Structure 1
Amino acid sequence: MNEVTLVTGATGCLGAALTRALLDGGETVAALVEPGGAVMSAPRLEIRYGDVTDPGSLAAAMKGVARVYHLAGVVVPLDSMADRMWQVNTLGSYNIARAAVDAGVQRLVHVSSIAAIGYPPDGVVADETFDVRDSVTDNAYATTKRSAERLVLDLSAADGLDTVVVNPSAVFAPGGDPRWAWSRMVGAARRGLLRAMPVGGTAVCAVRDFVDGTRKAMRQGQAGRRYILNTANLTYREIGDRLLTAVGRPGSVRTLPSRALRPVARVNAGFARLSRDPMRSSLLVPENVELLTRQLYYDQGRAVSELGMTQTPLDTMFGDLIGPTPARGVR
């Protein structure tokens, strides 16, 4: 009987891409899905129901599992969702690790974020040893991901769970909620509405490199070690211009200075406080202005040298992000 690999967050953009790669590689995969959640269907794929915030639901999900990729989390960087992020990102990660220990799982790859490492000052390219006390800002998302890492690694060291941490940068994966981030940006570029980008820059990871680095971390990563998964450090203007080229739109984007973003962010925060649903808030809120107006760059050297993580050409990365061209008249 084949050993089972459990993937949490398997129905998200990154989880789905990883699950497809594992299945294509011949593995038997169990996808952890919340009761009533969307499901996938494929040969050698089993759906197991459970909720990372409900420890009692995880024992059955871990039955017969040899390896776990833990991707489930709240990834929308809004401080208004701090409580939910703490429940899912932090306590949920601990619950998964605890259940893995109890089930005798061989190895866990905990998918964290570069946010957990900290946000470096302009001119600094952070690696896994970056001192978070030097971070230029902080937010609820970074705090919950950092706390999750600490809880999982402490538990693993105490109870003998073989755990590796990967810290992906902003992953360029197709799909996802069109209200947010890259999906929304791709839609704007296709409609000719992408005209300006923030003044800062960010580290970005091709979905191919994310999948490759995460799988290699499972096979050969050093237990208790972090690995930054990244492809390139780009300004937002470079991202905008490359998106326009990828979708076949002429021209280039302008750069928006920080002074133009801060008033809009304050207004958006006011509207967000009036909304009952934090997920309806704009991402352009005060806590994110610092992220958009600085060059937050990271060094993937450890993952490349120790894991042999691939480095996808930029044209391929942007082509993967935009996906197939929609049929005429379809948006």
Structure 2
Amino acid sequence: MKKKILVTGGTGFIGSRLVHKLASTADDIHVLVRKSSDLTSLEGVLDRITLVYGDVTNRNSLDSALKDTWQVYHSAGLTYMGDKRNPLLQAVNVEGTRNILDASMGAGVQRVVHVSSITAVGMCSGKKPLDENSRWNFDSLNLEYARTKQKAEQLVAEAVKKGLDCVIVNPAFVFGAGDINFNAGRLIKDVYNRKIPFFPVGGVCVIDVEIVAETIVAAMEKGRTGERYIIGGDNVSYRELVATISAVTGAPKVYLPLPFWMARILKSLLDMHKGRNGISKLFNLSMFRVASENLYYDSSKAVRELGMRREPHANSIRSAFEWYRDRDMLH
């Protein structure tokens, strides 16, 4: 018998790749969207899925969407790493998760996979990768996004205590084909267009979106209730990452490391000449502060328990770059 599965955040980068994967199964895939949602990322599967209208921030819109639902993939979330205060982070990432969990419990959903973030895990004090048991320490950076992702995980833990079967996944820095909004892909585009003359002194864990999507499905099938799974690949310094991007795209190499204290001075100088610099939009101080730390993670639990596959980060950079190039999106 066909089982009804609901995906939230299905028009986003990770969510849309997940929907594409699920659409090839025999299950009845429903995707929660708003009337205003851009469906571009779901082209090619719209005839194999059912769109249901609702909003995670509106609790009343969820009951009919979740009626008779067997499983929920909750991948709706707002990713904002900028300097300005953004009240939508609390509304979507925290209250949206609370609403989905409450509605899932009310509808008798069998299992929920909550798509979190590595910012809910923490950051390294040196270069030793963190695992799922690390103590959260992102509060020292005052990054609102990280705080909301960590708070959402606390809500999941509370729901598990109340009897809801939930699994958490924590994707790392995700590259790959289909990143229409240039999340991580902005780095590829800006290195290619010579808008990044320097790199931060930290490092990051890189993973391909296709591996993320298939591991999220594996978490639904095999993940242990209440557990979290880091979905990550190569841990690379930004020096290595921009070198890989240069090698893949044919862009000139970037040689200049920029420590955070120097970035602050440079940013204030650039701000005095707004509109006159061709520097990447990624160069905001809150993002650069995070990028000055090592966000390295140990994904062996996902390999061991969920069968997550590994591949070199250059493969992911290449598939993203070729996808952009074929669609003439690199201008």
TM-score, structure 1 normalization: 0.88
Deviation of the 1:271 alpha carbon? 11
Question: 2:174 matched to which residue of 1?
Answer: 171
- DSSP-derived class of the 1:288 partner: helix
Question: 1:202 matched to which residue of 2?
Answer: 204
Question: 1:161 matched to which residue of 2?
Answer: 164
Deviation of the 1:217 alpha carbon? 0.4
Question: 2:306 matched to which residue of 1?
Answer: 307
Deviation of the 1:12 alpha carbon? 0.8
How large is the Cα RMSD of the aligned pairs? 2.6
| Counterpart AA for 1:174 | A
Deviation of the 1:251 alpha carbon? 3.7
Alpha-carbon distance in 1 for matches of 2:100, 2:16: 19
After superposition, the C-alpha distances for 1:57-104 in whole angstroms (9 at most, x for unaligned) are 001111221111101111111353442101110010010011111111
Q: 1:249 aligns with which of 248, 251, 274?
A: 251
After superposition, the C-alpha distances for 1:186-242 in whole angstroms (9 at most, x for unaligned) are 222333444422121111111122112111100000000010000111111111111
The verdict on how the C-alpha distance between 1:264 and 1:7 changes in structure 2, with shifts beyond 3 A counting, is farther
Question: 1:12 matched to which residue of 2?
Answer: 12
| Counterpart AA for 1:254 | L
Question: 2:46 matched to which residue of 1?
Answer: 42
| Counterpart AA for 1:307 | L
After superposition, the C-alpha distances for 1:109-163 in whole angstroms (9 at most, x for unaligned) are 00001111122212231111111258753411111111111112202321x2110
Alpha-carbon distance in 1 for matches of 2:152, 2:230: 16
Q: 1:65 aligns with which of 45, 63, 69?
A: 69
Question: 1:183 matched to which residue of 2?
Answer: 185
| Counterpart AA for 2:57 | T
Unaligned runs of 5+ in 1: 273-280
1:288 and 2:292 are equivalent in the alignment = no
The verdict on how the C-alpha distance between 1:37 and 1:181 changes in structure 2, with shifts beyond 3 A counting, is closer
The verdict on how the C-alpha distance between 1:8 and 1:327 changes in structure 2, with shifts beyond 3 A counting, is closer
Deviation of the 1:32 alpha carbon? 0.6
Q: How does 1:84-163 map to 2 (within 5 A)?
A: 84-133=88-137, 137-158=141-162, 160-163=163-166
Identity of aligned residues (%): 32
Q: 1:260 aligns with which of 256, 259, 262?
A: 262
Deviation of the 1:17 alpha carbon? 0.6
Unaligned runs of 5+ in 2: 275-279
Deviation of the 1:247 alpha carbon? 1.6
The verdict on how the C-alpha distance between 1:251 and 1:165 changes in structure 2, with shifts beyond 3 A counting, is same
The verdict on how the C-alpha distance between 1:119 and 1:269 changes in structure 2, with shifts beyond 3 A counting, is farther
Deviation of the 1:177 alpha carbon? 5.7
Alpha-carbon distance in 1 for matches of 2:330, 2:129: 41
**Larger CA deviation: 79-88 vs 141-150:** 79-88
Question: 1:21 matched to which residue of 2?
Answer: 21
Alpha-carbon distance in 1 for matches of 2:316, 2:273: 35
| Counterpart AA for 2:247 | T
TM-score, structure 2 normalization: 0.88
Q: Would the aligned equivalents of 1:194 and 1:240 in 2 still touch at CA under 8 Å?
A: no
| Counterpart AA for 1:119 | M
**Larger CA deviation: 186-195 vs 290-299:** 186-195
Q: Would the aligned equivalents of 2:8 and 2:33 in 1 still touch at CA under 8 Å?
A: yes
Question: 1:55 matched to which residue of 2?
Answer: 59
Alpha-carbon distance in 2 for matches of 1:174, 1:198: 25
| Counterpart AA for 1:112 | S
**Larger CA deviation: 299-308 vs 239-248:** 239-248
Question: 1:297 matched to which residue of 2?
Answer: 296
The verdict on how the C-alpha distance between 1:300 and 1:327 changes in structure 2, with shifts beyond 3 A counting, is closer
- DSSP-derived class of the 1:310 partner: coil
Deviation of the 1:44 alpha carbon? 2.7
Q: Would the aligned equivalents of 1:119 and 1:138 in 2 still touch at CA under 8 Å?
A: no
